[in-house]
Amino acid sequence: LFGLSLKENKSLKILNLNEIGIKSENSPYLLQHFNDIELDELYFDNNKIEELGGVLFANIIKLNKNIKKISLKSCCLNSNSLMCIT
């Protein structure tokens, strides 16, 4: 529900989801809705999203042209997910 409600919110421009306990196994349920969100900045630091979450973020970056800044510090990303992001 959180992801769907974000999609409907047209006024939110900066979203800080640092250290909220998102892990690789539950990241798809949240991140699947981020392709159409009209955010300028998204902060997702210190969540252990690992390779799966990193690949999902790569898709968000490619598909969502509204987001200008994404922060993924200490998210346990591996080389595969980093290659997808770059």
> For 18-39, what is each residue's pLDDT tens digit?
999 999 998 888 888 788 788 8
pLDDT above 70 covers what percent of the chain?
98
Cα 49 from Cα 84, distance rounded (Å): 14
pTM for the model stands at 0.84
Q: Find the mean pLDDT for residues 70-76.
A: 95
Query: Which are the contacts of 33, defined by CB distance < 8 A and separation ≥ 6?
Result: 3, 4, 6, 7
Query: Which are the contacts of 2, defined by CB distance < 8 A and separation ≥ 6?
Result: 30
